[in-house]
Chains A and B, each alone.
Chain A
Amino acid sequence: MKRLPLSYLPILLLCFAPLFLGSTCGNRTLDPEGVYAGDKILFTADQTIANSFDTLHGFVSWEHANRAVLASVPEIKESADFVRVNAKAWRDAVVAARDAYASVPNETNRVTLARALAVVRSALASAIAHQQQNPVRNLP
């Protein structure tokens, strides 16, 4: 077969570029066969909910395990107690919003879900800040 001159190489690369770009960019897409059926918003919401409540649980456990040492920073217990009092309500609200979006994925439900996630993220930010900024942050 006749060999192509090298001048065709850029054209060939351009032809194949879209095939590679889709798979090598950081923004991964969902396998449509999965339980989320390609719904990236729902997948990301579930990831955020699971990560958030794992972290909040870690925060209250950490405060509980180290309470005596942390007594010099009373705001930490106050913050942990705030999480303890509100965690169930936050969970119920965000899961309800998530389920509503899963049932009817319209703009209204997407916005409601985003707001519920923002509340959880805010609590999470506070918990993380307390764990990272307190003077005894090296506690287990």
Chain B
Amino acid sequence: MNAAAILAALNALIEGAERLGPVIADLRRQGLITVEEQAAVKARLDAVRAETFSGPEWDVTP
């Protein structure tokens, strides 16, 4: 592989990265469990913490 081909390959890589950058960033965001999803799970855990296990459905009756 000569120097010109290496340079051409590097140029192509840089150009490709520039074009694909926003797409890749979007895909990465889709792969993340978001801050909002995490907050929702934490809120559900806090609801379990606050559960009093009261109400007719929790009564043990004969």
Contacts and interface: CB of A to CB of B under 8 A. Distances in A.
A48 to B, nearest CB: 10
Interface residues of B, number: 34
B60 interface: yes
Interface of A is mostly: helix
B8 interface: yes
A51 B53 CA distance: 16
Nearest to B26: A23
Interface stretch (A87-95, A103-111, A122-130): A87-95
Contacts of A60: 57-58
- How big is the A interface, by class? 35 or more
Nearest to A25: B31
A12 B13 contact: yes
Interface of B: 4, 8-9, 11-13, 16, 20, 24, 27-28, 30-35, 37-39, 41-42, 44-45, 47-49, 51, 53, 56-60
Given A11-B9, A34-B39, 4 more contacts: A4-B12, A23-B27, A31-B34, A35-B39
